[in-house]
Structure 1
Amino acid sequence: MTNSTDGGRGPTRRRYLAGSAAALSGLLAGCTGGDADDGTTPNDDAPATERDTTATDSSETTTAASGGPYTATLAPAGEVSFDAVPESVFTVFSQYPDMCVALGHGDAVNAMYVPEMAGTTMNHYYDRLEGVSFEWEGLPDPLSDGLPKELLYDLDSDVHLVDPAWASTQKGWSAGDVDEVADAVGPWFGNFYSGTNADAPDGYAADYQHYTLWELFGAVADVFQERERYEALASVHEEMLSTVEQGLPPRSERPTAVRVTYSGDQFYTYHLNEPGYWLADTRPLGANDAFAEKDWGQLWGTVGMEAMAEADPDVVLHLWGMTPNYDMAEVRQSLADDPVGGQLSAVQNDRVYAQGMRYQGPLMNLFQLEATAKQLYPEQFGEWPGYEAGQPYPEIPEDERLFDREQVASVVRGDGQ
């Protein structure tokens, strides 16, 4: 890698060029956050989809056609220069490993958060994409003991697909530590606060930008020099959004719904239609959020069984229900056995559905959008066949699929490249 000098710190091991955003630093941690596709909220009978065109402006990203240094740009890191395509990639949340898989670089991932849960869930989707899989076994969990700086040095990654602003808020970290790792190990390239379009920490807020999931994916594609793969997958996503938009019933005919995680006698609740890529699989579908008027001061809050009964949504979307952490048959039984929960319309009408993960990358998003469309609007998009714990994403009849599996798999495999 080419060395450079920045701010008098001396030569760096990898060339890290940051624009004005690089001076920024700090804020917010939290494993839960939000993000959505483009930060818009569907209203009334207007189309509830968000259009993600290109992930980054051509004026913001310069890539070399073949060989030689190239750059990729993403706030808050700014413009980052690479001498070669990264071969070792540090990640935390699973949207980035999913992006790496989608771009044909899944084997470069050297760490990820809760790999057994996230990796298993990712492969439950990939089972429907011939020739696509992710080898997560043996990957360290970077948050199993905080975020140890020593781990980043040990892994010696070419790039960290992590938001430096978020990293600066972790226990034992400061903006100075973030800069140190960028200089001595490898650059940061991630954006966390677009998950909910939340404010970035002090020191980073001035130049922080919020991105949609697919815009973020496009920027990561530039890191790997995989613009062609990105554009092919973005086209699938765009076509899917068009299908959804054309099929949505009027607002007055849409069900009321909640997105929750049931735990004991309470529900962790999330809005459906707020900005941020954590809602990239619900916001485009524009269901009537039964808790739309609730202000939790953040994306999520908690409500008890009585509050849920008062809202009485038509549909309950259970987050994490397709992960190994939950058995939806047990969740449904627990709700049915509760004297109040058993009276919920969604329980009585068998409309408590398993959902995937908030930390979704592009491949996960395609499946989760399809699942949610069928769960909310079976008459328009076909019946949801249900999800069985521990099994792959359910088989959908070919004529009822909302995207072409083989087309996606072919892009990921790099057929014809």
Structure 2
Amino acid sequence: MQRRAFLKAGSAATLAGLLAGCSSPDSDATSTAADSATATADETTAGSGSYSVSMEPVGDVEFDAVPDTVAVYESGYADMVVALGHGDALTAVGNSDRFHTDAYDALDGVSVDTSGLVDLVDAGVTRETLLDLDPDVYLMDPNWLTSTFELDRGDIDFLTQRSAPFLGNTIFRRTDAWHDYDYYSLYEAFETVAELFDETDRFDAFQSFHDSALDRLETALPSEGPRGALVWGGSNEPTSFSPYLLSGAGTNKKPFHDLNVRDAIADSGIDALSQSQRSEIDAETLLNVDPDVLFVRGHEDKTAAEFQDTVVSFLQNHDTAGRITAVENGDVYRGGPIYLGPIQHLFLTERLATALYDQVTTTLFDRAELASIITD
């Protein structure tokens, strides 16, 4: 095997414990994860030009060059790679339909060629598929792969030794029993990816831009927002819905937290969607919850007008759903991507802010300034 752009995935002990979790609880994990990642990334091997990046559950991964190619599963990580100016390094995503790139059209000079990306769901998430990708790094949580697909510890070890190291953490939700190690917030994970690509200055600029935008937004928002329900309802005429907890800490809930939306489902006794819980509720149950606003996922490929003409129109004419407060008042919106990255987060937060709050009437951030952070 030719020497790749990485040296090793930590020590032999780290590799042997690749799929072992830490015991920290979800609520206390993020600061520990961030501190560990930052401390490890600052340690370089003297005189060799190598550097180390750390992320649970794999731990330390040492590189001797910035990766030229990267395969991701959660497309929120793909959005991070684009945000750092390395979109051309992407070779694969878990599900191309969930990699929403329309925001890039508003940013001069920012684009990604998705035509050549391998869709791992279509190709089949197998040892052979992942080996054929032959990237410099698999930016994906190995425990996600072994808990979701027909892969095991031996497959992960084989791919690490024969192809490339794994570096990634399942961050889009926090409802999986197998995820018993540190979680990362969106920007903690983003910072780790920036360390991987040696783009910490660009990350710092992006984070500062994000913080300034949210600080401006906060001054316009009430401390208590509307009661909202987030559901999956992928059909144009949905009659059953898979509920999410808006109060959850997964990264795809960040825009709702930033907008002070309260969770109408949290205290209803309804089980939220997770890998082990595929709960569905009908319109009658949703009427009993009776949210002020309703966010429906599965429609990010539609424009607002298309969503209105299909999903919203159907719900308004439905005998039961039509009596839900959110539906009666026309407060039904697309729920945003499941896998959310930093660029997508800014655009989605702005979209929802202007829909939910009359006092938010202008753009949340300057497109040209954001584009220059990504491209300069």
| TM-score for the superposition, normalised by structure 2 | 0.86
Superimposed CA distance per residue, residues 252-279 of structure 1 (whole angstroms, 9 cap, x where no aligned partner): xx22111122243111221112112121
Q: Which has the higher relative contact order, 1 or 2, with Cα contacts under 8 A spaced 6 or more apart?
A: 1
Partner of residue 370, structure 2? 408
Partner of residue 79, structure 2? 98
User: 1:9-24, aligned counterparts within 5 Å?
Assistant: 14-18=6-10, 22=15, 23-24=17-18
Q: CA 1:368/1:325 → structure 2, altered by over 3 Å: closer, same or farther?
A: closer
Q: Deviation of residue 240 (structure 1)?
A: 2.4
Secondary structure (helix, strand or coil) at the match of 1:378 reads coil
Q: CA 1:307/1:333 → structure 2, altered by over 3 Å: closer, same or farther?
A: same
Counterpart Cα distance in 2 of 1:298 and 1:24: 27
Counterpart Cα distance in 2 of 1:179 and 1:330: 47
Secondary structure (helix, strand or coil) at the match of 2:255 reads coil
- 1:320 maps to a residue whose letter is G
Counterpart Cα distance in 2 of 1:402 and 1:198: 31
Q: Deviation of residue 233 (structure 1)?
A: 0.6
Counterpart Cα distance in 2 of 1:66 and 1:54: 26
Q: Deviation of residue 324 (structure 1)?
A: 5.1
Superimposed CA distance per residue, residues 262-306 of structure 1 (whole angstroms, 9 cap, x where no aligned partner): 243111221112112121221222212211213416557422111
Superimposed CA distance per residue, residues 134-180 of structure 1 (whole angstroms, 9 cap, x where no aligned partner): 11013221122541211222121100001011122243311121111
Which stretch has the larger CA shift, 239-248 or 283-292?
239-248
Partner of residue 243, structure 2? 269
> Which one of 61, 64, 68 corresponds to residue 83 of structure 1?
64
User: 1:241-390, aligned counterparts within 5 Å?
Assistant: 241-251=214-224, 254-262=225-233, 263=235, 264-293=238-267, 294-296=269-271, 298=273, 301-323=279-301, 327-328=306-307, 329-379=309-359, 381-382=360-361
Secondary structure (helix, strand or coil) at the match of 2:338 reads coil
Q: Deviation of residue 81 (structure 1)?
A: 0.6
| Structure 2 contact 139–166 (Cα < 8 Å) conserved | yes
What's the C-alpha RMSD, in Å, of the aligned pairs?
A: 3.1
Q: How many residues align?
A: 359
- 1:412 maps to a residue whose letter is I
Superimposed CA distance per residue, residues 310-333 of structure 1 (whole angstroms, 9 cap, x where no aligned partner): 222221112233225994121011
The answer as to 2:103 corresponding to 1:125 is yes
| Structure 1 contact 259–269 (Cα < 8 Å) conserved | yes
Q: Deviation of residue 243 (structure 1)?
A: 2.5
Which stretch has the larger CA shift, 263-272 or 153-162?
263-272
Secondary structure (helix, strand or coil) at the match of 2:337 reads coil
User: 1:142-291, aligned counterparts within 5 Å?
Assistant: 142-192=120-170, 194-198=171-175, 201=178, 205=180, 208-251=181-224, 254-262=225-233, 263=235, 264-291=238-265
Q: CA 1:240/1:301 → structure 2, altered by over 3 Å: closer, same or farther?
A: farther
> Which one of 7, 15, 19 corresponds to residue 25 of structure 1?
19
Q: CA 1:298/1:322 → structure 2, altered by over 3 Å: closer, same or farther?
A: closer
Secondary structure (helix, strand or coil) at the match of 1:237 reads helix
| Structure 1 contact 55–218 (Cα < 8 Å) conserved | no
Structure 1: which 5+ residue stretches go unaligned?
4-11, 28-37, 41-49, 383-399
| Structure 1 contact 21–76 (Cα < 8 Å) conserved | no
- 1:98 maps to a residue whose letter is D
Q: Which has the higher helix share?
A: 2
Structure 2: which 5+ residue stretches go unaligned?
none
- 1:352 maps to a residue whose letter is V
Superimposed CA distance per residue, residues 184-234 of structure 1 (whole angstroms, 9 cap, x where no aligned partner): 100001101x33234563xx84xx211101100100111110111111111
- 1:96 maps to a residue whose letter is Y
Counterpart Cα distance in 1 of 2:208 and 2:5: 37
Partner of residue 70, structure 1? 51
| Structure 1 contact 274–283 (Cα < 8 Å) conserved | no
- 2:76 maps to a residue whose letter is Q
Secondary structure (helix, strand or coil) at the match of 2:348 reads helix
Counterpart Cα distance in 1 of 2:149 and 2:294: 35
Partner of residue 114, structure 1? 95
- 2:195 maps to a residue whose letter is D
Q: CA 1:57/1:17 → structure 2, altered by over 3 Å: closer, same or farther?
A: closer
| Structure 1 contact 270–301 (Cα < 8 Å) conserved | no
Which stretch has the larger CA shift, 225-234 or 316-325?
316-325
Which stretch has the larger CA shift, 354-363 or 368-377?
368-377
| Structure 2 contact 5–64 (Cα < 8 Å) conserved | no
Identical aligned residues as a percent: 32
Which stretch has the larger CA shift, 171-180 or 317-326?
317-326
Counterpart Cα distance in 1 of 2:8 and 2:120: 23
| Structure 2 contact 5–136 (Cα < 8 Å) conserved | no
- 1:373 maps to a residue whose letter is A
Superimposed CA distance per residue, residues 27-80 of structure 1 (whole angstroms, 9 cap, x where no aligned partner): 9xxxxxxxxxx969xxxxxxxxx99x9786542322669982111111111111
Secondary structure (helix, strand or coil) at the match of 1:281 reads helix
| Structure 1 contact 99–363 (Cα < 8 Å) conserved | yes
Q: CA 1:104/1:56 → structure 2, altered by over 3 Å: closer, same or farther?
A: farther
